[in-house]
């Protein structure tokens, strides 16, 4: 493994647990421990613990913090209540996505933003380039935080064993700050990237190993297992959650990606508003679809989508769904074909009919 790859504070624990480590977004990350299917099903049935410390964080504070964020994000920022979070997209002027993010409101004039690992440095530079005369400070805190995701139907019971924080009353996209397994200053939010109930825990990097071990010890009798990025990908695909560089990117706008609900045109201005309004009104040139296959072959990224003999798009993501026991995926298809019942995907020379899903495979 290259020495240029960054390692999270849980690297030693991953090695101890027998993880298979792979490069991901410049980090040496666990793709699996016991196996992707077992880990995936644990999150659906009991619980899984993910190390997502590769994700980035930035603190935005100052008198103009809310107004500044409203001017660069598609979703409404000023209306976020203290103690809650909101999913949003940050766009270029042409409507392409700089990144998709979760914004946590810590105080009236202070926010913490979770950034995708591959985009963290780019995001911070982008935000700083747009500050202008706004009274706002953007602080890079990527090295200060570790992040754990405890996901699954038993997540609350497990987490309650190591914290006195009021989890039972915590609503989705709300958070509390306090002590977890003896670590102070942790942010515990009812959020996740799996489609199963659960929590994401932001904690000081120095406390990550202690907290992870405490959670595993508390949860193992209930079926909790460590879970890698392989299962994280199949879980998020079943839930139809986008991954940057796949379903959203600098060439795929939130309108194309089916994230129009995050774009608030009632705001008078924000970066990308004009381009997104044109797409919303006239229809985007292409759209992202979710699909399944009645075949054992998986359609991987880049596989061509056909309507008859006409190439109309390409696969963005593809995997085996352990829940459905069949291949699923997403694709970007040209305008007019997103609802077609006659699409096929070319998998190594085999044309396989695809079934467009009108809703996520899990809710």
For residue 111, give the H/E element and its range: strand 110-115
pLDDT in the model for residue 26: 95
For each of the domains in the chain, give its residue range(s) and CATH number, in order of start: 1-253 (3.30.1360.120), 285-357 (2.40.30.110)
pTM (two decimals): 0.96
Contact 283, 318 (CB under 8 A): no
Q: How confident is the model at residue 133 (pLDDT cuts 50, 70, 90)?
A: very high
Q: What is the pLDDT of residue 2?
A: 46
223 φψ region: left (φ > 0), alpha (ψ -120 to 50), beta (else)? left
Whether the predicted pLDDT of 123 surpasses 60: yes
Confidence of residue 3 (pLDDT cuts 50, 70, 90): low
Whether residue 40 contacts residue 228, with contact meaning beta carbons closer than 8 Å, is answered with no
The predicted model gives 20-25 an average pLDDT of 96
Q: What is the mean pLDDT of residues 284-302?
A: 97
Mean pLDDT of 134-160: 99
Can you tell me the mean pLDDT for 324-343? 94
Structure tokens at 8: 């999270």
The structure tokens listed for 341 are 């019942």
- Residue 204 scores a pLDDT above 60: yes
Q: How many helices and strands in the chain, by DSSP H and E? A: 8, 19
pLDDT in tens, 159-189: 999 999 999 999 999 999 999 999 999 999 9
Per-residue pLDDT at 96 exceeds 50:
yes
Q: Give the integer Cα–Cα distance in Å for 312 and 308.
A: 10
What does the buried/exposed string (b/e) look like for 166-193 if buried means 16 or more CB atoms within 10 Å of the residue's CB?
ebeebeebbbbeebbbebeebbbbbbbb
């Amino acid at each position: 493994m290259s020495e240029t790859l960054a390692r999270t504070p849980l690297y030693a624990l991953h090695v101890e647990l027998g993880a298979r480590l792979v490069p991901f977004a410049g980090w040496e990350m666990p793709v699996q421990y016991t196996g992707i299917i077992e880990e995936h099903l644990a999150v659906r049935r009991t619980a899984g613990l993910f190390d997502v410390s590769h994700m980035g964080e930035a603190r935005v504070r100052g008198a103009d913090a809310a107004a500044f964020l409203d001017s660069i994000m598609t979703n409404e920022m000023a209306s976020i209540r203290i103690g809650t979070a909101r999913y949003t997209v940050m766009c270029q002027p042409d409507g392409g996505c700089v990144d998709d993010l979760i914004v946590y409101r810590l105080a009236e004039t202070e926010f913490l933003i979770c950034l995708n690992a591959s985009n963290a440095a780019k995001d911070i530079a982008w935000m700083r380039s747009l500050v202008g005369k706004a009274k706002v400070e953007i602080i890079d805190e990527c090295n200060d935080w570790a992040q754990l995701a405890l996901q699954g139907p038993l997540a609350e019971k497990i987490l309650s064993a190591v914290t006195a924080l009021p989890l039972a009353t915590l609503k989705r996209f709300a958070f509390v700050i306090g002590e977890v397994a003896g670590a102070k200053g942790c942010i515990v939010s009812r959020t996740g990237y799996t489609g199963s109930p659960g929590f994401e825990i932001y904690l000081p990097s120095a406390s990550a190993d202690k907290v992870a071990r405490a959670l595993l010890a508390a949860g193992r009798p209930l079926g909790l297992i460590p879970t890698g990025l392989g299962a994280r990908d199949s879980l998020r695909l079943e839930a139809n959650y986008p991954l940057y560089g796949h379903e959203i990117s600098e060439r795929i706008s939130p309108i194309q990606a089916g994230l129009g609900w995050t774009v608030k045109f009632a705001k008078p201005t924000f970066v990308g508003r004009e381009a997104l309004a044109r797409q919303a009104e006239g229809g985007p040139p292409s759209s992202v679809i979710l699909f399944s296959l009645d075949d054992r072959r998986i359609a991987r990224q880049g596989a061509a989508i056909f309507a008859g003999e006409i190439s109309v798009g390409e696969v963005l993501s593809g995997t085996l769904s352990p829940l459905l026991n069949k291949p699923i995926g997403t694709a970007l298809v040209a305008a007019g074909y997103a609802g077609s019942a006659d699409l096929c995907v070319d998998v190594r020379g085999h044309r396989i009919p695809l079934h467009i899903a009108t809703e996520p495979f899990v809710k």
